């Protein structure tokens, strides 16, 4: 790869190229780090009231081995089988995720707040044979599993691996106070029983992960991470072991001396099922032998108070809305974390006023990066310890090239906006069982992001606009087609158009435009209807009724014109993003 303008802005000692992967697959990468200090605490789950439980590196390795053996020897899965995981941030997540990868199987991350119909789509499309789910949402299973190929269900408690007394208090509170434990009416195996079954097979001489991983290499599929891609149709981005190992190295290279091996404590408020937290927090900080403080739900932001008080947090990753929310919390302003070294923002644009105030309050750097599910996810990053340019997404990480091109595919010079295309070892293998979508997104090895950006003379990029119509609510993708179809299914609705509008809390909020016959549904009825089929962050926050919607000559609703002339909202609902990462 020839020298690029951004190479001179890499942190000292960072090579422009990653010459060789550090491991053949993710379990090898993680296992090597765990072996350096097995007794160190790897994960601590902190509840809003401060109750907590922890797992050491040795325990994570042992328990994930047991789960891998359970999947292969007890459930009967084979290499390449898909396992869906529907968990909030909790101690069980790394045990289960690492166990799936050690089994040579494929992890299918699934939002635990998905409705039954959303679960059915993802499970059916991925062909998942097994599901691991938090028991608080088990009431959705009868409807969700009816038309899927899932044969095995493993249930998890939010207090799994906590000290017995603490776990008992949490369980009793869920059962008798909050009444958040619905009955599990489908055949299932509690995680603790699955792990015990795996341990028994190991004692009987089961070959274990060493045998399961013999045929696994950099090109082996590791994760199906669902996304709308550049077309808005939900599909699984195929991320290989090599993609994830490479992106971990690329991300760490941009942190310079701000990330110290064996010395960092990262607060993980973003959900681990989201690709940002999955690669950066889960894999990256485990590889660096850090301590990961897991918060099941960051909403309200006061849920983070005890984590900041009780642990020496040195790193925080998040989206703009999280940083902004903390800056509006009196407890955070009065006692900002003194041990914090750096923060990284992604998933949505980091607003400059938020970045400036964060630096002022904490006295530490905050930098913005950019990526997609299809890129594992990091493509660009503002280098820590180097030149940070607010309002930009930074520079391409090592072994990565990013360009701006016009509609004819011509490379544009600095200062001219065009579609961002990228090439590097972190780029996905393609979309699961969608050759046509893959062909559209990957052209001659270049990923077409669908985002419009421009590069300055130093090689720093900024996002100008999104070519696609996706709406970004607190860093989560909302695809207008899905919401429009849901609204249009109502009896008197003739058509619906959906766009994103600016929102001070969530970055963007969903707005729906509806054309309906008499008797037209009320805004509240539309919201209630959407809540039956869509996750909370996808539900329109505002609704406007119109006599007609702007259309192209072939009848396609022109969302661009709706964005140009949004008009007044008829109604506003509650914050649609308030439950997006909550395991309540």
Kindly state whether residue 482 falls inside one of the protein's structural domains: yes
Extract the runs of DSSP E, i.e. beta strands, from 127-167.
130-134, 152-156
Which domain, by its residues, includes 499? 471-572
What pLDDT is stored for residue 465 in this prediction? 67
Cβ contact 520:547 at 8 Å = no
Extract the runs of DSSP E, i.e. beta strands, from 336-406.
342-345, 366-371, 378-381, 395-396, 401-405
Nearest to 544 by CA among 469, 467, 563: 563
Kindly state whether residue 518 falls inside one of the protein's structural domains: yes
Cβ contact 106:221 at 8 Å = yes
Instruction: Report, as ranges of residue numbers, the positions in the chain whose pLDDT lies below 70.
Output: 1-2, 228-233, 465-467, 552-556, 566-584
Cβ contact 540:511 at 8 Å = yes
**Helix, strand or coil, per DSSP, at residue 471:** strand
- Please report, for the domain that includes residue 549, its CATH number: 3.30.300.30
| pLDDT digits 0-9 by tens, 396-447 | 999 999 999 998 999 999 999 889 999 999 999 999 999 999 999 999 999 9
Crossing angle of helices 241-253 and 26-36, in 10° steps, is 50
Cβ contact 160:192 at 8 Å = yes
CA distances from 69 to 205, 345, 454 (A): 11, 37, 49
What pLDDT is stored for residue 230 in this prediction? 52
Nearest to 277 by CA among 317, 311, 242: 317
CA distances from 494 to 498, 519, 520, 540 (A): 14, 12, 10, 17
Name the token pair of 415. 């200062």
**Helix, strand or coil, per DSSP, at residue 498:** strand
In whole angstroms, what is the distance from residue 320 CA to residue 299 CA? 14
Q: In whole angstroms, how large is the CA radius of gyration of the chain? A: 23
Name the token pair of 92. 């069980």
Extract the runs of DSSP E, i.e. beta strands, from 191-290.
221-227, 235-240, 265-268
Cβ contact 142:120 at 8 Å = no
Phi, psi of 44 (to 5 degrees): -130, 125
What pLDDT is stored for residue 350 in this prediction? 82
- Residue recorded with tokens 């020298």: 3
Name the token pair of 494. 């003739």
Name the token pair of 61. 């390795």
Cα–Cα–Cα angle for 250, 251, 257, nearest 5°?
Answer: 105
In whole angstroms, what is the distance from residue 343 CA to residue 365 CA? 6
What is the helix, strand, coil percentage profile of the chain, to 5? 35, 25, 40
Kindly state whether residue 203 falls inside one of the protein's structural domains: no
- Residue recorded with tokens 């109750």: 51
What pLDDT is stored for residue 583 in this prediction? 32
In SS3 terms, 69-98 reads as: HHHHHHHCCCCCCEEEEECCCCCHHHHHHH
In whole angstroms, what is the distance from residue 414 CA to residue 404 CA? 9
Kindly state whether residue 561 falls inside one of the protein's structural domains: yes
Q: 363: buried, middle or exposed (CB in 10 Å: 19+, 13-18, 0-12)? A: exposed
Kindly state whether residue 173 falls inside one of the protein's structural domains: no
Cβ contact 125:235 at 8 Å = yes
In whole angstroms, what is the distance from residue 56 CA to residue 286 CA? 11
Distance of CA 453 to the CA centre of its chain: 23
What pLDDT is stored for residue 231 in this prediction? 58
Nearest to 265 by CA among 447, 494, 43, 453: 43
What does DSSP assign to residue 551?
A: B
| pLDDT digits 0-9 by tens, 234-282 | 899 999 999 999 999 999 999 988 899 999 999 999 999 999 999 999 9
What pLDDT is stored for residue 477 in this prediction? 79
In whole angstroms, what is the distance from residue 79 CA to residue 45 CA? 31
- Residue recorded with tokens 């691991």: 132
Cβ burial 474-484 (10 Å sphere, 16+ → b, else e)? bbbbbbbebbb
What is the total count of domains within the chain? 1
Kindly state whether residue 375 falls inside one of the protein's structural domains: no
What pLDDT is stored for residue 95 in this prediction? 98
Question: Helical H runs in 204-304?
Answer: 209-212, 241-253, 275-276, 285-287
In whole angstroms, what is the distance from residue 518 CA to residue 526 CA? 14
Order of strands across the sheet that contains 52-56:
52-56, 41-46, 291-294, 265-268, 315-318, 342-345, 366-371, 378-381, 395-396
Kindly state whether residue 348 falls inside one of the protein's structural domains: no
Kindly state whether residue 54 falls inside one of the protein's structural domains: no
Cα atoms in the Cβ-side hemisphere of radius 13 Å centred on 31: 18
Nearest to 579 by CA among 131, 115, 97: 115
């Amino acid at each position: 790869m020839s020298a690029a303008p951004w190479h001179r802005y890499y942190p000292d000692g960072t090579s422009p190229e990653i010459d060789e992967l550090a491991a053949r697959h993710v379990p090898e990468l993680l296992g090597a780090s765990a072996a350096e200090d097995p007794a160190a605490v790897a994960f601590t789950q902190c509840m809003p009231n401060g109750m907590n439980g922890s797992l050491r590196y040795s325990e994570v390795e042992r328990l994930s081995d047991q789960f891998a053996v359970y999947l292969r020897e007890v459930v009967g899965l084979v290499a390449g089988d898909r396992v869906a995981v529907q968990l909030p941030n909790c101690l069980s997540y790394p045990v289960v995720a690492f166990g799936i990868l050690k089994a040579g199987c494929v992890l299918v991350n699934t939002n635990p707040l998905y409705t039954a119909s959303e679960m059915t789509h993802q499970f059916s499309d991925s062909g998942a044979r097994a599901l691991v789910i938090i028991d608080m949402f088990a009431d959705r299973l009868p409807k969700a599993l009816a038309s899927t190929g899932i044969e095995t269900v493993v249930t998890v408690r939010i207090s799994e691996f906590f000290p017995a007394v603490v776990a008992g208090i949490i369980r009793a509170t869920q059962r008798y106070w909050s009444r958040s434990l619905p009955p599990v009416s489908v055949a299932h195996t509690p995680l603790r029983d699955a792990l015990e079954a795996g341990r028994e097979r190991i004692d009987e001489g089961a070959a274990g992960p060493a045998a399961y991983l013999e045929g696994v290499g950099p090109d082996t599929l590791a994760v199906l991470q669902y996304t709308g891609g550049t077309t808005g149709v939900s599909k699984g981005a195929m991320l290989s072991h090599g993609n994830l190992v490479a992106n971990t190295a690329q991300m760490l290279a941009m942190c310079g001396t701000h990330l110290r091996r064996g010395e960092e404590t990262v607060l993980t408020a973003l959900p681990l099922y989201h690709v940002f937290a999955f690669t950066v927090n889960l894999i990256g900080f485990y590889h660096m032998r850090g301590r990961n403080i897991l918060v099941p739900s960051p909403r309200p932001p006061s849920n983070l108070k005890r984590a900041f008080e009780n642990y020496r947090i040195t790193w925080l990753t998040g989206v703009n809305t999280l940083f902004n929310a903390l800056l509006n919390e009196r407890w955070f302003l009065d006692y900002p974390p003194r041990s914090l070294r750096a923060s990284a923002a992604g998933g949505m644009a980091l607003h400059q006023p938020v970045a400036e105030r964060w630096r002022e309050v904490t006295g530490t750097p905050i930098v913005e990066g950019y990526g997609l599910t299809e890129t594992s996810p990091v493509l660009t990053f503002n280098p820590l310890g180097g030149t940070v340019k607010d309002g930009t997404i930074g520079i391409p990480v090592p072994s990565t090239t990013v360009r701006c091109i016009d509609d004819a595919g011509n490379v544009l010079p600095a200062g001219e906006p065009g579609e961002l295309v990228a090439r590097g070892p972190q780029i996905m293998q393609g979309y699961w069982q969608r050759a046509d979508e893959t062909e559209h997104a990957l052209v001659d090895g270049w990923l077409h992001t669908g985002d419009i950006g421009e590069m300055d003379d130093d090689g720093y990029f900024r996002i100008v606009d999104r070519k696609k119509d996706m709406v970004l609510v607190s860093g989560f993708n909302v695809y207008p087609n899905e919401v429009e179809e849901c609204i249009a299914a109502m009896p008197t609705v003739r058509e619906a158009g959906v766009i994103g509008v600016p929102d001070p809390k969530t970055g963007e909020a969903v707005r729906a435009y509806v054309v309906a016959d008499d008797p037209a549904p009320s805004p509240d009825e539309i919201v209630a209807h959407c809540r039956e089929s869509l996750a909370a962050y996808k539900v329109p926050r505002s609704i406007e009724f119109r006599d007609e919607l702007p259309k192209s000559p072939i009848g396609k609703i022109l969302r661009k014109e709706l964005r140009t002339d949004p008009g007044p909202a008829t109604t506003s609902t509650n914050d649609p993003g308030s439950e997006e990462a909550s395991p309540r």
